[in-house]
Structure 1
Amino acid sequence: MSEPEPRCAHYQFVHVALRTLVFQEARLAAALWELDDPMALLDDIALQVVRACRGEGEGGELRAEQLTLHKLRLGAHPCVVIEMPEPVAATEAFMIAILELRDLDASPDSDQAAERRYFTLEYSGHRPAPHTVLCEWTAQGSHMNMGGGPEPEVGAFVTELARFVLD
């Protein structure tokens, strides 16, 4: 039995649309952290992805109510973790982490250029339990596989990210 193909809306939201916007629109990462309820923003992105997938003859559905957003601190940095619907195919993601490398403890007057980092915790198959891979996308569009990832749980994901970001 062959492995299923990644769902268009799931894959495109994580690996193309949201990633591209995070790096091209610095305000997006800040808005996800600062807005009381950024779900309407995520829903708009998801709807655009679904429309594009349908335009390519692909089905699929993705809405903000299927996502869970967590606002955390990774050291002094704001980190937004988005839990995706359960992945069913390799390269679909359990979670995304958007990290701004600005210091939340610094003076609000400081003029920090907030570099952003974009991580994914991806599904890579069952063997016999779900196997994860930790990856990072760069602003230049490179997808770096950092090897086997943690359990698909927010705390484990953030703890693993801290090893790469805070060390």
Structure 2
Amino acid sequence: MLDHEPTAGFTGGLTAIWQGYGEKLSESERLPADGLSADLVQGDGYRALFVVLPPAGAPSEAHFVAVVQAAGAEGCRYLTLEHGVSPVDGQAYTVLGEWTADGRHLNLGSGPAAEPGDFLAAVGRVLAQSVPVHAATRAGVPESGKSGGRGLRGLRGLFGR
């Protein structure tokens, strides 16, 4: 996925997958691909497929996804910036998350503002601070049905399941 750009480009290919999976869902579960985009980015010591998802509207939906391969690593990590809403005061916040190859979701703590540069900087900090115990491999992906968030459902097929 990080080695070869699809013929339709990353955004075009992802949009086609998003819409294809949407056709398998009921109308009420579908989310338009409005705002969906994907680009290959190079960071300090990593490269990533950076995905901007349609606007997050409910808790646990993701704003962004980064499928990241650190320099010299065989596998990839699947990091997210997720939307949250405080049940106490209704204030919005973000959470950094990670999906492991065995389908577990890890909460990596408070996230930055939902801005691309802020998220990518946070991705760089996560990579610099940790070595994944259960890093996703090129074939490993989040298991379908684990999230419950609309945005992540549309990405299940992008990574092979």
Band the TM-score falls in, shorter-chain normalisation:
0.5 to 0.7
* 1:146 aligned onto 2:108: yes
Structure 2: any 5+ residue segments left out of the alignment? Answer: 130-161
Structure-to-structure mapping, 1:4-23, within 5 angstroms:
none
Inter-CA distance 40–68: structure 2 relative to 1 (3 Å threshold): closer
Q: TM-score, normalised by structure 1?
A: 0.65
How many pairs were matched up?
Answer: 127
Greater share of helix: 1
Percent identity of paired positions between Structure 1 and Structure 2: 24
SS in 1 for 2:28: coil
Structure-to-structure mapping, 1:103-114, within 5 angstroms:
103=72, 114=74
How far apart are 1:128 and its partner, in Å? 5.8
Q: Which has the larger radius of gyration?
A: 1
SS in 1 for 2:125: helix
- Give the distance between the partners of 1:30 and 1:41, measured in 2 at CA: 14
Structure 1: any 5+ residue segments left out of the alignment? Answer: 1-27, 104-112
Match of 2:28 among 58, 62, 87: 58
Tell me the amino acid that sits aligned with residue 61 of structure 1.
L
How far apart are 1:76 and its partner, in Å? 3.0
Q: TM-score, normalised by structure 2?
A: 0.67
Equivalent residue, structure 2, for 1:122: 82
Q: Is the 8 A contact 1:75 1:166 kept in 2?
A: no
Deviations 1:34-78 (A, max 9, x none): 868222320221012211222xx6342333x52132432222321
Q: Is the 8 A contact 2:37 2:51 kept in 1?
A: yes
* 1:43 aligned onto 2:15: yes
Structure-to-structure mapping, 1:23-34, within 5 angstroms:
28-32=1-5
* 1:93 aligned onto 2:62: yes
